[in-house]
Every structure is written in C-alpha cells, then in structure tokens.
Amino acid sequence: MANSVNDKNPWLEKLGPSEVPVFRRTVRLLAELAQQGESAKSNDIAAAVLLDPLMTLRILHDANAQSSKRLGSEIATVEHALMRIGVNSFFDKYKNLQTIEDSLSGQPKALQAAYEQLQRSFHSSWQARDFAVLHLDTRAEEVQIAALLAGVTELLLCLAAPQAAVKLRRLRRKQKAVKAEVEVLGDSLESLQQSVLAAWRVPEELREMLGPAQQLRPRQIMLRSAFKIDRLAEQGWWSDELAAVYDDMAELLGRLPQQVAGTVHSNAVHAARAGAWIPAPAVARWLPLLPGEWPHEPEEEEEETRQTAAKPAPATGTAATETICPMPNKRIFEESLKAIEAHQDGTLTLTQMSAQILRGLHSGLGLSRILFAMLTPDGMRVKSRFTLGVTADDPLRHFEFKLATKDMFGQLMSRMQGVWLNSSNRGRMWPMVTPSLQKMIGEGDFYAMSLFAGNKPIGLIYADRGHGSCDLDPAAYTDFKLLCLQAARGLAKAKPG
C-alpha cells in the first residue's frame, strides 16, 4: 500500500521508530509479570501490552523487524509477536522501559493530552473488538489492534513535539479537526498516520483497515463506527448522528438498531471500568444524561488551568498487580442462547455455531479460557477443536483424552453431564484427572460439561477464569450448563465446516 504522504515529510523523522516510552502502569505490570519468570503466561503478557498503544506498536515493530530477516511474513497480533520474540527474550528486551509520565514531567498539558488520547483509543478498541466478535470475525484481535493504533500518531506527537500536540488539541476545539491538523502538521493525521505506521513496520493489513478506500469492507465499517461513536459521545449519547451509526452497524451485524445501541452502551461502561486507571474522563460518564441542549464548552484558559492542576499519575511503587476480573454480561448471554436457538435449522456451519457458543461463554459469562473438544472421526478420542483465550503456548491447547478411559473426563462422556471442580471437591476429584491432563489444565477451578445429540456424544466444553484471583461461582455454573445444553442442540444441527 503506497504511503499517502511523501516519505520526506519532516514529521516522519520525529515520529518514526525509536525507543519510545510507554505508560507507567504498563512498566509496572510487565515488571510484575517478569518476576514470574518462565511461568508467566503469554496471554497475561498480551493483555498487559494491549492496554497500551505504544507498547503494542513497539512489539509489532520489533517482531516484524525480526520477521523480515527470517520468514518474510508480517505479524499482526500481539500473541504472534510474543511467539516470534519469545517470552524470556521479551522480558529481557523490555526490562528498562522509560515512562511517558517521566518523559513529559515538565509538560503537564501534553501529558494530559496523551491520557485523553489513550482513553479514546481504549474505548474505541473495546467497541471495535466487540463488533468484530459479533460479526463472527475469527481474528477480532486484529481489529482491536487497528483501533488502538489509530491514535498512536497523536501519542507520538505528544512525546516528540509536546507544544505542537497542545496547540493541535486547542485548535480542534475551535475549528474542524482536519483544518486544525493541516495548520499544525501540514497534513491531516489520517494521511500522516499511514506513513508513520509504515515506518514502524505495522503490517499492511492493519494499515489498510485505517486507510481510505473506494468501497468500505466490513472491518473498515466497524472501525469507522467505533471512532464515530467515541467522537460523538463526547457531546452526549443521544444524538441523531449516533442513531445513524447504530443503523449502519445494525445492517452489518444483522441486528436491530436498539440492540446495537444497548451493546455500545454496555461496552462503554465496561471500557470505563477497565480503564479507570487512566487519569482522563471516559465517554461513559455522559450515559446517564437525557437528551437535551448541550452546554457551551468552558473557555480555553479555564480548561487548561483545570488540566494543569489535575491529579498527577501515581508514582512507580510496590503496589500489587491490579486484577480486573471478567464481568458476566447477562444481555450477551441471553443473546447467545437466542442466536443458537434461532439457527437450529442448519443455516450455520460448525465454525459459525461454535463462535456463537464461545461468545456466550466468554462475553456472556465472563469466562477467560474456553475450549470446545470434539469426538474424533474414529470415535475413539475427544480432542480440542475450537478455543478462545487459550494462547498458542498454553498446554491446554493440546487437550485430548481417550473416550473409553475411566478418569473424570472419560466418565463425563458416559452421558450429558457437567462438573465444577473447586476447593470443596478438589481432594476427591482432582486425583481422578490423569497427570497429563492435570498438567494441561493447571491447578485451578474449572467448569466442564459433555455434549450429546440424543444418545450420541458430540464433545465437551471446558472453561475457567484463569488460575488467578478471579473465582468461579454457582450462578455462572448454572448458566454454563444452560448454555451447554443449548450448544448441544445447535451443534447437532450445524453444517460441517
């Protein structure tokens, strides 16, 4: 894809590849994960990286710089970047990261601008990923990363030219964004962004999602909708413009506009809670307001004074890692049940039906690692087929057992039934799991349930919330079994593929 600005643009030298700092919280999270050594899980590392657009940019750049010398293939996800770099090499490479807070300690206005851009990127990436999941995009993380990187040029500007970033922020409040960008940068951010991302070795696939196109593809529609929602919600959640965005997404996703609106509102709240550590207001703060005339913006001088006096970011210290446990979403859970029921007519393939099931378990019940294992063609074994939240280096990906065994999973497959392994029954039931499966699963609580079509076994669903401090609970177990029952019916009717 050709760059949309001349490679001699003076801003490229300022904003191109360098040892850019990252947010202080990222440094702290990675340092705490590094203390775990080889036991650190790549999905935990990826989760920490994906909270920070600049850290995401750095790892993609470094992995693709390494890739170009070896295999020539572009890496578009953090998980694949970690696989290329290696977990131990990752911690060694990024053990002395500098922080944005330190770099901009003398530029409070630029630091606040960076925080505000981070909050926008965090929210839009949350919306975009969920749109991709609803669209049954099997590579939803790529859409999430594209949304994160959409604002990275502005973050780089805050670091490389803080005064220009502050001026741009001020002018945008007085005139159209593109006009302000041309006045400060000599070009629009969208145009400059393409050259900046190319210089950072961001894969062409991600750049194309963010670039102009004669005819928008689904991923571009989802991204542009996420960006519009973020921008328009800054002026309230009840505008006609937002309603038009919901209409567009409803057509793409095959849903009603009010359903899309409900999803967007829910995502905004979840993103605000997950990004509560960012010292900048989230757009979800306007959700309780009813439609009405929007108040005038405060004078620029008053706004700047308020931002300068804002509470500084917490200093690096010995605070424990903040664990954000996944929250069940009853609406998504019920949507998944209805979607499975509505497609018990053979209209969905096995892959599409599994995507609906995985969404209900992950987003609906807040389960982190999910595995759908199926009976092998010879009818002798049960083997992993689809996973969500199970990284490439996680032993659980190789989940497999003989159907005729007498261990716990073999007994589960004697009829359709479920089990919740927890502290109250671990002493009795954990020894019933074979040592090889114990090693794959790890020591922690989990749900599992066999799936049958009549008297014929189909497979088994396993799910947990990782093996940290996010506990399973009885209500989620009841819903897990309900969804598995519906899943068995849906899978029995699904087309191969």
pLDDT value of residue 289: 57
**pLDDT at residue number 354:** 86
**Residues with Cβ within 8 Å of residue 290, at least 6 apart in sequence:** 238
Residue 158 is predicted with a pLDDT of 95
- Beta-carbon contacts of 137 under 8 Å, excluding residues fewer than 6 positions away, are 143, 218, 219
Secondary structure (3-state) at 402: strand
Separation between Cα atoms, residue 34 and residue 94, nearest integer Å: 10
Q: pLDDT value at position 308?
A: 41
* pLDDT at residue number 386: 87
Order of all β-strands in the sheet with 418-421: 400-402, 381-388, 369-375, 456-464, 446-453, 418-421
DSSP class of 472:
-
pLDDT the model gives residue 412: 92
Q: Where are the domains of the chain?
A: 22-93, 100-308, 330-493
Token pair recorded at residue 405: 């065994």
Domain 330-493, CATH 3.30.450.40 — does that match? yes
Strands 418-421 and 446-453: antiparallel
In tens, the pLDDT along 402-456 reads 998 889 999 999 999 999 999 889 999 999 999 999 999 998 899 999 999 888 9
Query: Which residue ranges of the chain lie beneath pLDDT 50?
Result: 1-6, 290, 292-322
> How high is the pLDDT of residue 321?
43
Q: What is the DSSP string of 434-461?
A: -HHHHHHH-SS-EEEEEEEETTEEEEEE
Sign of the alpha-carbon torsion through 10, 11, 13, 14: positive
Task: Tell me which H or E stretch contains 419.
Answer: strand 418-421
Yes or no: say if 128 and 264 are a contact pair by the CB < 8 Å rule.
no
Q: What H or E segment, with its residue span, contains residue 375?
A: strand 369-375
DSSP 157-193: HHHH-HHHHHHHHHHHTTS-HHHHHHHHHSS-HHHHH
- Range 100-308: architecture per CATH: Orthogonal Bundle (1.10)
Burial (CB < 10 A; 0-12, 13-18, 19+), residue 402, is: middle
Counting Cβ atoms within 10 Å, is residue 284 exposed (0-12), middle (13-18) or buried (19+)? Answer: buried
What is the DSSP-derived secondary structure letter of residue 256?
-
Say how far apart CA 224 and CA 178 lie, in whole Å: 16
The confidence score (pLDDT) of residue 319 equals 40
pTM: 0.61
In this prediction, residue 91 carries a pLDDT of 94
Largest CA distance in the chain: 75
- What does each C-alpha distance from 181 to 2, 165, 211 come to in angstroms? 21, 10, 17
